[in-house]
A and B are shown apart, each in its own frame.
Chain A
Amino acid sequence: MSQTAEIGSSADRVALSKLFAAFLKVSIWGFGGGLVWARRVVVEQSRWMSEQEFAETLTLCQLMPGPNIAGVAVCVGAKLRGAIGTISAVAGFILVPWAVGLSLGTLVLQHAQVAVLQNILSGVSAAAAGLLIATGIRLLRPHCARPAALLFAGLAFAGMAFVKLPLLIVLLGLAPLSIGATAAGAIRP
């Protein structure tokens, strides 16, 4: 790789249609939560962000209210092309899938009581849960060298999964501690 990929320089500017198409894909494939696909498309396929940067962006989005994956679309769009990029990414994420999903869903809702359909739904959810867990584990890999990172990931997991604390409490409680620990680690040589 001789050229340093200077994002924003006109030569390798990402086309708006690419942003639209990428988040259309994230959205359409994103059964049971688009995070799995967002990571796959943004980090693995398009290489618009590193694993680390993706995790950080996701963190920023999770600290904010709203649908987090739409937030990832906003941030990736803003990073690559500014405001117009954001609009393209969010439109790709929402427009077509929304229309398709609304029509399909209305059809399914008329048959929601059918037993086979219920079984299929629970099979899909079980697999989707596995995808989410695996995505989390993959995002954790770059942090494995830092014991403090593993500790705080574990605490956040336990707080939500076992203690069932409200999310805001988990974040407000652990964020200052984690920042303190990281700062202390950074000061010491």
Chain B
Amino acid sequence: MTNILSPPTLLAAHLAVLSSISFGGFPTVLPDVHDFVTGNGWLTDREFADVFAVSQVVPGPNLILMMSFIGLKVGGIAGAITSAFATFGPPCAMYYASYRLWDRYRDRPWQRIVRRALAPLTIGLVIAGGYVMARATDVGWPSLAITAVAVVLILRTRANPLWILIAGGALGGLGFR
């Protein structure tokens, strides 16, 4: 690499660009991050997969954490901090500006129509996210059963989601998968 920039700076710059175009959340740009990080020889495929899995189970803002784990490997704790800022900084500024703009026109009829029209799309996407995740972890009928029971429990009871997750983990740990 003949780059003048240090790897942590390069990584942060790349993440800042990606986070600014990551429509639908950061998962959509994961393939790009993967190619960039492994292409530069900073992480192996295996390490990338582990970092992803762990960031999903560790409590906290998952994808910001995932980028921080990558930053940690690339440039120590300073790399972790800059990666985190590059991942959430630019989008948060945009969210704020657009919410303000959106809120100003809240009572206009056209906005009510747009809001009522767009909400179902979002909801469809949320359910699709759950479906895709269920398929990704699907290693047999037991894991499908865990997913189905979780759906029913949330809809039919006021059970705390945390217990459902713990129960899922316990069943998986006992080999129910």
Residues of A within 8 A of B (CB): 27-37, 40, 52, 55-71, 74-75, 78-79, 83, 86, 90, 93-94, 97-98, 100-102, 104-106, 108-109, 112, 116, 119-140, 143, 146, 148-161, 166-168, 170-171, 174-175, 178-179, 181-183, 186
Contacts and interface: CB of A to CB of B under 8 A. Distances in A.
A98 B120 contact: no
A151 B53 CA distance: 34
A178 B144 CA distance: 32
A120 B149 CA distance: 17
Given A28-B59, A86-B96, A153-B123, A130 B164 contact: yes
Given A64-B94, A131-B161, A102 B68 contact: yes
A79 B103 contact: yes
Nearest to A152: B120
B55 interface: yes
B131 to A, nearest CB: 5
B146 interface: yes
Q: Majority SS of interface residues in chain B?
A: helix
B170 A123 contact: yes
B147 to A, nearest CB: 4
A149 B120 contact: yes
Given A30-B61, A60-B99, A130-B134, A157 B128 contact: yes
A137 B103 CA distance: 26
B5 interface: no
Query: Which of B56, B88, B148 is the most central at the interface, judged by chain A CB atoms within 10 Å of its CB?
Result: B88
A74 to B, nearest CB: 4
B134 A65 contact: no
B1 interface: no
A33 B129 contact: yes
6 contacts: A30-B59, A101-B60, A108-B57, A126-B172, A137-B155, A156-B124
Contacts of A34: 61-62
Contacts, number: 376
Contact of A126 (B92, B100, B128, B146): B146
B172 A124 contact: yes
B58 A179 contact: no
A25 B15 CA distance: 26
Interface of B: 19-26, 28, 50-51, 53-65, 68-69, 72, 80, 84, 87-88, 90-92, 94-96, 98-100, 102-103, 109, 113-134, 136-139, 143-144, 146-155, 161-162, 164-165, 167-177
A170 B20 CA distance: 19
A160 B132 contact: yes
A153 B172 contact: no
Given A33-B62, A126-B137, A78 B99 contact: yes
Given A126-B172, A130-B134, A175 B57 contact: no
A27 B55 CA distance: 12
B122 A55 contact: yes
Contacts of A138: 154-155
Nearest to B25: A68
A170 B21 CA distance: 16
Nearest to A99: B60
A105 B165 contact: no
A53 to B, nearest CB: 9
Given A61-B95, A125-B133, A136-B126, A31 B28 contact: no
